[in-house]
Amino acid sequence: MKKYVIPFILALSGVVSADRFEYVAYVNLEIPDSDSTGIRDTIFIDQHILIEDINIYVGIGVLETPWAEEVLIDIFSPSRSRVRLNDWQGPHRSWYNCWYDTEREEDGPGRLEDYAGLDAFGHWEMFCFDPFEDYTLFWYSWRVEVIGTPIVGLAGEKGPLPTEFEFSGVHPNPFNSTVSMRFGLPEPSEVVFTVYDVQGRKVRALNCGFMEAGYHSIIWDGANSGGASVASGVYFVRMTASDREFTRNAVMLK
């Protein structure tokens, strides 16, 4: 019988440099064998940062043997957009104790670069799952490194609010999985994003609800209203806020 470690979770944060922010969580837990519930842990980023680049470090070790084994690792943004860092069936299944997006690429689906253009503020979640009953995996820690620019004009932040309604566009563009839309509101407003194909048919509606004045971002996961991924092609994203409308194009390339 395995001895399970009582969780000791500590999150630290700080500015590493003028545009580099690092957050770390110490998990100190065994990952149960062949248990699909796995283990989840969160890091709360308490600053509004416009992401230019993001790197994720995962610290997992094997207790009984020096050999590595397979493990599934997912990262979720505050808006619940998922990137699969390590797929136990993927090409790098024996190498996961490292920085993702600098030391090695993500297995996918999704890429960390998909988070560029988003606000890093909120709870980031990591999920780890060991599908095999063999060696014991121990999750020591993980880190989120955000490279970007602090956002002013948000609630609780110093700086001016937008002076007019803004739809800055979509990023990245072209995209192949998820895309973010950044926008600004000079006053509290109901906000809706609607995606259309080139024939003018509605593909998806994203109802943001009532939002406070400030700068915001929202993710479209590249799926239609039925949950299926859209085909490659040009799409038009219309933002409606109060009585204002803005339209930008987005190109899906698979």
Three-state SS for the chain is CCCCCCCCCEEEEEEEECCEEEEEEEEEEEECECCCCCEEEEEEECCCEEEEEEEEEEEEEECCCCCCCCCEEEEECCCCCEEEEECCCCCCCCCCCCEECCCECCCCCCCHHHHCCCECCEEEEEEEEECCCCCCEEEEEEEEEEEEEECCCCCCCCCCCCCCCEEEEEECCCECCCEEEEEEECCCEEEEEEEEECCCCEEEEEEEEEECCEEEEEEECCECCCCCECCCEEEEEEEEECCEEEEEEEEECC
Could you tell me the pLDDT band of residue 19, with boundaries at 50, 70 and 90? confident
Q: Is the pLDDT of residue 125 over 60?
A: yes
Q: Is the pLDDT of residue 198 over 90?
A: yes
Q: Is the pLDDT of residue 7 over 70?
A: no
- In the chain, residues under CATH classification 2.60.120.260 are 10-150
Q: What is the pLDDT of residues 177-193, one digit of tens each?
A: 777 788 888 998 889 99
The CATH architecture annotation of domain 166-252 reads: Sandwich (2.60)
Q: What is the pLDDT of residues 63-104, one digit of tens each?
A: 555 444 578 899 999 888 889 998 876 555 455 678 887 778
- In the chain, residues under CATH classification 2.60.40.4070 are 166-252
Q: Is the pLDDT of residue 6 over 80?
A: no
- CATH superfamily entry for domain 10-150: Galactose-binding domain-like (2.60.120.260)
Mean pLDDT of the chain: 79
Q: Is the pLDDT of residue 237 over 80?
A: yes
Choice between 92 and 41, residue whose per-residue pLDDT is larger: 41
